[in-house]
Amino acid sequence: MTKPLQRVYAVLLRHLYILRGSISRLIEIIYWPSVQMILWGFISRFFAMSSPGGGPSTMGMTAFGTLLGAVLLWDMLFRTQLGVTLSYLEEVWARNLGHLFVSPLRPWEWWLAMMLFSILRALTGMLPAALLAIPFYGFSIFSLGLPMLFFFLNIMFMGWWLGFLIMAMLLKAGQGAETLAWALTFFLAPFCAVYYPVSALPAWLQPVAHALPASHVFEGLRALVKQHEFLTNEMWYAFGLNIIYMIISMTILQIAFNSARKAGTLLQSGE
Amino acid sequence: MTAAITVKNLTKRYKQVLAVDDISFTVKKGSITALLGGNGAGKTTTIAMLLGALMPTSGSIHILGHDMLGNRYPALQKMNFSSPYVDLPWKLTVRQNLRVYGKLYNVPNLEKHIEKMAKELDMIEFIDRPVGKLSAGQKTRVSLGKALINTPQVLLLDEPTASLDPDTADRIRGYLDNYRQHHGTTFLLASHNMKEVERLCDTVLMMKRGKIVDEGTPKELIKRYGRKDLEEVFLDIARGTSAEAAA
């Protein structure tokens, strides 16, 4: 293993030890996506069955599939962002930043480790939820095939850059801004067109939605479930936007990191 | 003997506060140098700048020939740091912590190295216990273990024997002295324990209000100030009571 990879592995190992040593954390990671899935699954099935004739309508069942897919993808976005942000906060809570930043660990290695850990964390939460949906509702997100992989990739990308942006804010503002870790992604939810199409938004808000990669993913998901059509242009839009936002967020994070080195807050962060 | 650490005109200013004021010094390879001074003298700020965790306002730092302001990583690979004020992750066991840091420093034969260090630093009985459940003295030993994990050529220690009982503290001092003789490691330590400094250090840098106000061997300083030990010299400098004695 090369030296940089070994350092990335060291950071991953550190977070895996925390996870392994805390059953409550592991349960929490699995619990919330599964509860979300069960709750939204029953709600959407109720609406799907509420056709005038009392039975399931085609439109209702399509909406049901779209909603369940959206619940899973949205949670994936939140969990990925949380995976990055919590990896940072774990170091702050442990007052360990001082040791990390005087080791040969480069910032990019640390960030890569966070991204990898966030995948692991998100998948640990999402897989049981996705598997639960099969016996509960007869809905398998895996049946959507390869396009789903593109949706997931885009959603993870967005989770990463959101996580890095929040991390930059935490570096700048300190632990007082900790609630951002849980709040910021939800602030964007209304504009991401998770549960309704972009066209449902007022005209003046639609450009905001179009500027967010997630809205293109959710539009793509709806088209896939309703029309069995994979809208490649929506995916390219999402990828393009994600790359732009990733560059911006990494630049902001680097600036915040340099600023923390100037202010001396790296060694002082802690509870 | 060549210099392991060369600091020139180092200054750190936080808005209105001048924390370190244009200091210059060298630390010889294989020596133990103490950075002494009262609270707020600028010792921790200086150490943080040497480690690259804090950017100086101006000046230069070279460690083992590497420019710490240009590319600090080659030097960081060969140095380490311990402080009772910077924790290791509490939820991880001692062994897990040492494993993580060993991998960060790419230490070869890591498991054997951890076992050896655990024996030397008397950590065997608590090596599989979470760091958060250790006593203050045990934590200090673990922090020292982490600092020695990569067999550093330069080691910066902030109060290395803080919270240790006199017996353990004495053994740690002996261990550090042997370690230096065996590995040729350069030590720069900040301490408030004058007996420790007298016993261990070749050179003392006295800091006050961000400046280096005096330097020399412990014996030289004691003689220069006409005092019986370093503690009295420290008090003289801290209180400014004997400036003329040293002049």
DSSP A105-170: --HHHHHHHHHHHHHHHHHHHHHHHHHHHHHHHS--GGGG-HHHHHHHHHHHHHHHHHHHHHHHHH
Longest Cα pair distance anywhere in chain A, in angstroms?
A: 68
**Considering chain B, what is the average pLDDT of its residues?**
91
Higher pLDDT pick, B246 / A54: A54
Q: Which of residues 17-76 of B touch A (CB under 8 A)?
A: 45, 48, 51-55, 73, 76
User: What is the domain partition of chain A in residue ranges?
Assistant: 3-268
Which residues, 6+ apart, have CB-to-CB distance to A153 below 8 Å?
none
Report which DSSP code applies to A73.
Answer: H
Whole-angstrom Cα distance, residue A13 to residue A121? 13
Q: With an 8 Å Cβ cutoff, are A7 and B106 in contact? A: yes
* pLDDT of B66: 96
The shortest CB-CB distance from B96 to any of A17, A96, A258 is to A17
Tens of pLDDT, residues A177-186: 788 888 888 9
Taking CB atoms and an 8 Å cutoff, what residues of chain B touch A104?
A: 73, 76-77, 104-106
Q: Give the minimum alpha-carbon distance from A76 to chain B in angstroms, rounded to a whole number.
A: 27
Taking CB atoms and an 8 Å cutoff, what residues of chain B touch A266?
A: 53-54
Tokens of A152: 């997931």
C-alpha separations of A72 from A31, A39, A128 in Å:
13, 12, 11
Tens of pLDDT, residues A48-59: 777 666 666 677
- Backbone φ and ψ for B115, nearest 5 degrees, come out as -60, -45
Q: Which of A60-74, B2-16, B197-211 has the lowest mean pLDDT?
A: A60-74
Q: Is residue A159 scored above 80 in pLDDT?
A: yes
Q: Is residue B128 scored above 60 in pLDDT?
A: yes
* pLDDT of A269: 54
- Backbone φ and ψ for A85, nearest 5 degrees, come out as -65, -40
Interchain CB contacts (distance < 8 Å): A and B = 94
Q: With an 8 Å Cβ cutoff, are A264 and B14 in contact? A: yes
Tens of pLDDT, residues A114-128: 999 999 998 999 899
Looking at this predicted complex, what is its ipTM? 0.88
Q: Give the minimum alpha-carbon distance from B115 to chain A in angstroms, rounded to a whole number.
A: 19
Q: Give the minimum alpha-carbon distance from A261 to chain B in angstroms, rounded to a whole number.
A: 5
Taking CB atoms and an 8 Å cutoff, what residues of chain A touch B83?
A: 98
Q: Is residue B163 scored above 80 in pLDDT?
A: no
Q: With an 8 Å Cβ cutoff, are B87 and A96 in contact? A: yes
Report which DSSP code applies to B246.
Answer: H
Which residues, 6+ apart, have CB-to-CB distance to B5 below 8 Å?
B25, B26, B27, B50, B61, B62, B63, B154, B186, B188
Q: With an 8 Å Cβ cutoff, are A94 and B51 in contact? A: no
Q: Give the minimum alpha-carbon distance from A31 to chain B in angstroms, rounded to a whole number.
A: 22
Residue B104 touches partner A, C-beta closer than 8 Å: yes
Q: Is residue A17 scored above 70 in pLDDT?
A: yes
Tens of pLDDT, residues A163-217: 999 999 999 887 777 888 888 889 999 999 998 999 999 999 999 999 999 999 9
Q: With an 8 Å Cβ cutoff, are B90 and A6 in contact? A: no
Whole-angstrom Cα distance, residue A92 to residue A71? 31
Q: With an 8 Å Cβ cutoff, are A98 and B90 in contact? A: no
Q: With an 8 Å Cβ cutoff, are A104 and B130 in contact? A: no
Q: With an 8 Å Cβ cutoff, are A10 and B101 in contact? A: yes
Q: Give the minimum alpha-carbon distance from B243 to chain A in angstroms, rounded to a whole number.
A: 33
